Every structure is written in structure tokens, then in C-alpha cells.
Amino acid sequence: MPKSSFADFTGEWNQCMLAYDTNAEDLAHLRPQRDELGLVFNRAMTLSSRQDALRAELNQTTKDLNETMAQGKDLNSRLKAAVKGHYGAKSEKLIEFQMKPFRRRQKAKTDSIEASKTPSPDKPTSDVN
């Protein structure tokens, strides 16, 4: 199975550097490549640590944001309730605060309802007997 994870790569790099160090006399001509691999290994480890720290900071920031949003929702709800208490539930002023004032339903016109119930002289009515 090919290596693909950070731990797989860095583990292999570390093992290679340890093996080089053990055989440094035989491989003296490869010292520049070993040193460069050491630098890359250290940079990768530093970046991984930084990534972990940033991930922890992101998680904490997300938690703080969620708490702040909950606090804001609560305060907004309280403020709206106080405004409604001040102006009254029927006040049109509530619209400015993105609230709907209480409005009574308008009764349907009785003339139009009764007119629809009475048969028109043009339409024949069918008697069911």
C-alpha cells in the first residue's frame, strides 16, 4: 500500500535520516541531501504543529461565535419584547423593529357572501327530489 499520510511520510523520512546517520562514513557524499531532508522534515513538523494550533484556534473561535450569536439572539428577543411592551402590540411603530403589529381580521363583506348563496335568475336550479 503506498504511503499517503503525513505520519507515513515523516516516519519514512526520519527512518531514512537515522539510517544515514548510522552509515554516515560510507555515505559522506550524500551529506547535502541528508541535511536538506532534515530541513524539510523540520519544516514539515513545524507546519504540522502550526496547523494543529490553528485548528484548535478555529474550534475555539467557532465556539465563541456560537456563544455570541446565542447571546445576541437572547438580547434581541428581550429588546423586541420591551419595545412591544412600550408601544403596544397594535402599534404600527413595531414595523420599524421588523415586528408585525397585531391586527384584527377584517370581516368579509356580507353582501358578497349572500349574493353568492342566492341563485341567479340566469342559472337554472336543479331540484333533487
pLDDT at 124: 59
Q: Are 12 and 37 in contact (CB under 8 A)?
A: no
pLDDT tens digits, one per residue of 28-56 = 999 999 999 999 999 999 999 999 999 99
Instruction: Tally helices (H) and strands (E) across the chain.
Output: 3, 0
pLDDT digits (tens, 9 = 90+) for 52-79: 999 999 999 999 999 999 999 999 999 9
Residue 122: pLDDT over 60:
yes
Give this prediction's pTM. Answer: 0.61
- Gap between the Cα atoms of 127 and 129, Å rounded: 6
